[in-house]
Structure 1
Amino acid sequence: MSASFASALAGARDAAAAQHYPQGALYVMATPIGNLGDISLRALHVMQIADALACEDTRHTQALLRAYGIDKANWIAVHQHNEAEAAQAVVERLQQGQRVVYASDAGTPAVSDPGARLVAAVREAGRPVVPLPGASSVTAALSVAGAVAEEASFVFAGFLPAKAGEREDAVAALAAEPRVVVLMEAPHRIDSAARALAALGGRHLTVARELTKQFEEVATLECAALPAWLQADPQRSRGEFVLVLHAQPLARAADEGTRVLAVLLQELPVKSAVKLAAEITGAPRNELYEAALRIKGGKAPPP
């Protein structure tokens, strides 16, 4: 056990042991994305009382357990190449009344990581699934980007396609997306992704690199400047990336909203057209309503 973490298990027991932890349940556990101190006390406690640990890479998860002095003998490998088959082994253990914890390599499982098929199989078998929330690179990046204000929304797009043509098509689609978009990228593809995203010009992007680790770096710049920013320091192309594409400027969203609204009004009542145009473009609904009245010649919708 790491000396700096020696008191963590006692703290976990004091903080979390009083809660009920049903048997025959799958516990989906978030793990640190870099800093081992980001594990939750409840996760530490559940790992101690679990009958088996399922994980993406047993070596990776064992390192986490060793740091906190937790010793487990029952391991199940569940990764992208065997998830469907391994899920049945997990279900069998749950049907025997065992508590099984699942962790991907880092962060929250089933978010651009394996886990979704496992959870679906467990639910289909009628067994409970319990979340153990914690570290997530997606929400960590959003929290320091300053991109999601009140009444705004974001979408999680994951990794851009690996093939150049498909990647360019994906970026072209992002150009028409008015909301905040969260992307992830690996170090060996970040330069290609940067060149593709540069096509978005002056739209702002927050780059979050090596979150929670020693060389963590967060910067906000225009998409067109991303390739040069990476090339300015060779270290910047290393590590895991989360990219937060900021929302379209309101004026552009409003213009796009009016254009979409005009098309919808040809087929739909005002209220329905306004609702759909707001959802599609992110433009404010009250402004779209006023635009709809202008398009309709000032006539209010029927009751």
Structure 2
Amino acid sequence: MIILAATPIGNLRDASRRLIEVLENAEIVAAEDTRTTQSLMRALNIENRPRMIALHDHNEKHKAAELAELASEHDIVMVSDAGMPAVSDPGYGLVVAAVERGVTVTAIPGPSAVLMALAISGMPTDRFTFEGFLPRKPAERRSTLTALASEPRTMVFFEAPGRLASSLADMGTAFGADRRIAVCRELTKLYEEVRRGTASELVEWAEQGVKGEIVVVVSGAGPVEVSIEAAVAQVQALVASGIRLKDACAEVSAATGLSSRDLYQQALAAR
């Protein structure tokens, strides 16, 4: 089988007993960086020296099938440099290849920068979307953020320290300067820090220079103010596409803040 094993994102004491046990008994380990994984095992006092196979962004496309085939006869532990493999890290291609071949895939849960940042951000946690790293090129980044301007769910991004200030400035332009944002830095590490504020406030701080691993959590867009007539038209369009009237009213209500009951009654009256 394939075992996706989450590793510490900073603090070594976050390594689970299950992770240590699996690494102590592993015969084959696929690692994003074999040197990083060997250092981790030494730091955790693991004496086992399994066969190490590098699996990273540059070779996963052609290596995944080979490893999936190997996993049909052997257990393979997959680790990235930090956190859960396959989540903005190598591993997704391996999982796809394993599933295609009927190889069992499981995971050892553990530290997650995405979930930790979300939990401590102070933003709504009931619905969220993980957007990974924003594009490096300014034009592409602005286009991506513009497309997310009306996203109602809390959004979680990764960002490089050197691009943080420009990304926050672009968020202010796309989302509005007053959109609530939390920048989480060096999670679980000695200099862990969370800065909360508006886009405009955080740009000024980020321009002074920020170091470390960065996770940015952004509050979702608020309900859009529309007339009851326009909202009923949205409901009718959803119904025409095959959605039940009750569900269409609930969806439009969530997006606009208008009463689902009022939308339902108005839509019935308009038939």
Q: Structure 1 residue 154 and structure 2 residue 128: aligned?
A: yes
Measured in 1, the distance between the counterparts of 2:228 and 2:82 equals 43
Structure 1 residues 63 and 174, CA, compared in 2 at 3 Å: closer, same or farther?
A: same
Cα separation, 2, equivalents of 1:260 and 1:72: 65
Following superposition of structure 1 onto structure 2, how do residues 1-303 of structure 1 map, counting pairs within 5 Å? Answer: 25-70=1-46, 71-96=48-73, 98-149=74-125, 152-199=126-173, 200-231=176-207, 233-234=208-209, 237-249=210-222, 253=223, 255=225, 261-267=231-237, 268=239, 270-278=245-253, 281=255, 287-294=259-266, 296=267, 299=269
CA deviation map 1:40-78 (0-9, x unaligned)? 111111111111110100011111100122231400100
**Runs of 4+ that moved beyond 4 A:** 256-260
Matches of 2:220 and 2:180 in 1, distance apart? Answer: 8
CA separation of 1:165 and 1:262: change in aligned 2, threshold 3 A: farther
In the alignment, the residues of structure 2 paired with residue 49 and residue 217 of structure 1 have an alpha-carbon distance, to the nearest angstrom, of: 36
- The one-character-per-residue Cα deviations of 1:213-266 (angstroms, maximum 9, x if unpaired) are 1111102100121210113x43xx2111111101334xxx15269687333234
- State the alpha-carbon separation in 2 of the partners of residues 111 and 245 from structure 1: 19
Task: Give the aligned length.
Answer: 263
**CA RMSD of superposed structures (Å):** 2.3
CA displacement at 1:33 relative to structure 2: 0.7
Secondary structure of the equivalent of 2:88? Answer: coil
User: C-alpha offsets along residues 97-143 of structure 1, whole Å, 9 cap, x if unaligned?
Assistant: x2210011111111111111101111111111111000110000011
CA distance in structure 2 between the partners assigned to 1:69 and 1:45 by the alignment: 11
Distance across 1 between alignment mates of 2:245 and 2:76:
52
Residues 30 and 108 of structure 1 are in contact (CA less than 8 Å); yes or no, is this contact kept in structure 2? yes
For residues 178 and 259 of structure 1, do their structure 2 counterparts lie closer, same or farther at Cα, with a shift above 3 Å needed? Answer: farther
Contact 1:257 1:278 in 2 (8 A): no
What is the DSSP-based 3-state SS (H/G/I as helix, E as strand, rest coil) of the residue aligned with 1:265?
Answer: helix
- Secondary structure of the residue aligned to 2:111 is coil
| Cα distance in 1 for residues equivalent to 2:53 and 2:228 | 54
Shift of the alpha carbon at 1:208? Answer: 0.3
Structure 1 gaps of 5+ residues are 1-24
Residues 198 and 226, structure 1, Cα contact 8 Å, conserved in 2 = no
SS of match in other structure, 1:175: coil
Does the Cα contact within 8 Å between 1:209 and 1:242 map onto a contact in 2? yes
Query: Structure 2 vs 1, CA of residues 141 and 258 (structure 1 numbering), >3 Å: closer, same or farther?
Result: farther
Any unmatched runs of 5+ in structure 2? none
Identity of aligned residues (%): 37
TM, length-normalised to structure 2: 0.88
Structure 2 Cα separation of the partners of residues 278 and 133 of structure 1: 36
